[in-house]
Amino acid sequence: MPIPLPVLVRIAVTAALCAHAFFVYTTARCLARTFGFDVGVLLLGIVVTTVMMIPFIWVYWIVDLPDIWQKHLRPIRRWRSNRCPGCGYSRTGAASAVCPECGVTWTEPPPYRVGWPTVKRFTIIVLIALTIGTAAGEMRILLDERAFLREAESAPDGVAARPRGWPNGGHWLFHDPLQGPIAGDRSWGASTVVPMPYQPHRDAHDSHPQAPSEDHGE
């Protein structure tokens, strides 16, 4: 059974928005220059991705594009050329207001108007794309970082550096035995790497430096 054209169009729109959310989220995630999962960075990436979805509001009608053509534009075009809006049968000299070919009553087709069903469909598609795109982006980054840690463990001196995996090759990953994993970037066209040190979460008792103890000899 073939898939209806409106369903195919909505699947294509969902896939395109998923790809957009994936690229935006991974870019925002890498610009944060953090290594490993962080709830704050995750929420920040979701906010940035959601904001970057706003421009697509102006093309919300694209989810109804097949219906616009099949139920409005094509019937109106046929009606204006004195043909049946349903099948295109000529209405010239017809004695009845019912099409002898398809049985459609000959009335002027209504123009397309945006309604709540269109807005609802587009909102659902955006939410699905946002969820899938951000989840796939976070998973892609975490898997790439895990693979990098395995590469660093196999390095002779524990020092490793390489670009992040696709699609964020402009950002770099570093590993140092003393500092651990580091997330950074590389200046465009420069040969030197400028890392941003990874700052792990510290406990409350580590938030303030401790004064050195004084040993009073007797």
Most confident of 12-16, 64-68, 171-175, 192-196: 12-16
- What span, in angstroms and rounded, lies between the C-alpha atoms of 157 and 160? 9
pTM over 0.75: no
Mean pLDDT of 101-110: 86
> Is residue 173 within 8 Å of 162, Cβ to Cβ?
yes
Instruction: Determine the pLDDT at residue 94.
Output: 78
Cis peptide before 167 (omega within 30 of 0): yes
Convert the pLDDT of each residue in 180-214 to its tens digit. Answer: 888 876 643 333 344 444 444 444 444 444 544 55
Structure tokens at 89: 């049968």
Phi and psi at residue 151, in whole multiples of 5°? -65, -40
Q: What is the pLDDT of residues 28-79, one digit of tens each?
A: 998 888 888 989 999 999 999 999 999 988 888 888 888 888 888 889 999 8
Instruction: Return mean pLDDT, the chain.
Output: 82
Burial classification of residue 46, based on how many CB atoms lie within 10 Å of its CB (0-12 exposed, 13-18 middle, 19 or more buried):
buried
Give the rounded percent of residues in the chain with a pLDDT score beyond 70.
84
Strands annotated E in the chain: 160-163, 171-176, 180-186, 193-196
% the chain with pLDDT above 90 = 29
Backbone angles phi, psi at 188, to 5 degrees: -65, 120
